[in-house]
Amino acid sequence: MPPPRPAPFTRLLTARSVLDHPQARNHPLDAARIRDLAGLARCGDLSARQVAVPQVLSDLASTTAADLLAPDDVGWHLGHSLAHALEHGVRLWLCEVDRDAPERISAVLGEGLVHVVSFELWPDGGIGSDGADGPDGTAVIAVSPLALVLSLAERSEASREYLRAVLEGVDTLRCPHRAIAALRAAGVAVMERPATVRLARNPVALAYVVVFIYSSLRALPVAFVPGFRGQWWVLWLIDILTAIPYTWGIVEMVAGRRLRWRLVGLATTLLTFLAPYVYFWIHGRDSPPGVLAIVAAMIVGSAGLEAARWWRDRVIVRGLEEAAPS
């Protein structure tokens, strides 16, 4: 009997998450291990596009480490999957394999790179505590593409020669900095991108630019409010000095990976947002309209965003660990 479809709100809450992949919907998986392998603070931050399901992982069970690095057909296919992962920001590979395949795949890729993340599903519906195969004789494995690149770049001259062959010309626009450094050290002829181009395509960097421009100019109109008796250049200087921490606070409050840093971001945002207006209140008769409303909106909005992220993460973790075969 197929599992019940999740409620529309649940589907909306988990949209574009790891649960979009069949392996995550049809097998109970170890959410904590998936989170750690992806290098994220919570499963809710792992989007669907950051997960790939390369079939070549199952093909690794039929080759050897020496043939892979030659490379044979499987080696070339693995190289294409690695290039795709580096160029598109893929953090995790998932693949359903036969019950006896993980050990053979680990022998080919290297120790510590292949992780069985599926729980054992017993016929009575119970879930075993150890990652293992299900009743249909399969298991789900997970591999970090970044960890694989770093391992191959450090392992031997043969593995570095393999990287030079299969990753030649890979575009580094979205590559992690650690991967770029490892590829350079291994002598891989990658497509270098200027730092300015990488920053221009980085949404976090663009957010910094937009918020910095706004925060550098936001208090200037206040200087022309009737009743202001301070120095406009002092007000503007306060704006400039608080622009960078204000920008950092906004970005960290919204996109920070850990709760304590999101709270620090909220506090920094509030303090630096209020700083120019404190000077105005000291040297003026009336506060700018809407300032207190904006502060209240920031606090309520931050709390609401945190609650939504916590709820999304909880639903995704439950979806991973309680999945059932369709």
Question: What pLDDT was estimated at residue 14?
Answer: 81
CA 61 to chain centre: 29
The span from the CA of 148 to the CA of 113, in Å, is 7
> Which residues, in sequence order, are bridge partners of residue 115?
142
DSSP conformation letters of 230-285:
S-HHHHHHHHHHHHHHHHHHHHHHHH-SSHHHHHHHHHHHHHHHHHHHHHHHHHSS
Find out whether 226 and 289 touch, Cβ atoms under 8 Å.
no
Instruction: Measure Cα distances from 302 to 12, 212, 219, 242, 324 in Å.
Output: 20, 19, 23, 20, 35
Give the alpha-carbon dihedral of 136, 112, 37, 16, to 10 degrees: -40
Q: Is the peptide bond between 245 and the residue preceding it cis, with omega within 30 degrees of 0? A: no
Q: What is the pTM of this model?
A: 0.74
Where exactly are the structural domains of the chain?
A: 8-197, 202-289
User: Coil, strand or helix: which one is 27?
Assistant: coil
Question: What pLDDT was estimated at residue 78?
Answer: 97
Tens digit of each residue's pLDDT (9 = 90 or more) over 252-307: 887 777 778 888 988 898 888 888 878 877 876 665 566 667 667 766 776 787 78
Q: Calculate ∠ Cα 19-92-307, nearest 5°.
A: 50
210-229 as b/e: b if 16+ CB within 10 A = ebbeebbebbeebbeeeebe
Give pLDDT < 50 ranges for the chain. 1, 121-133, 135
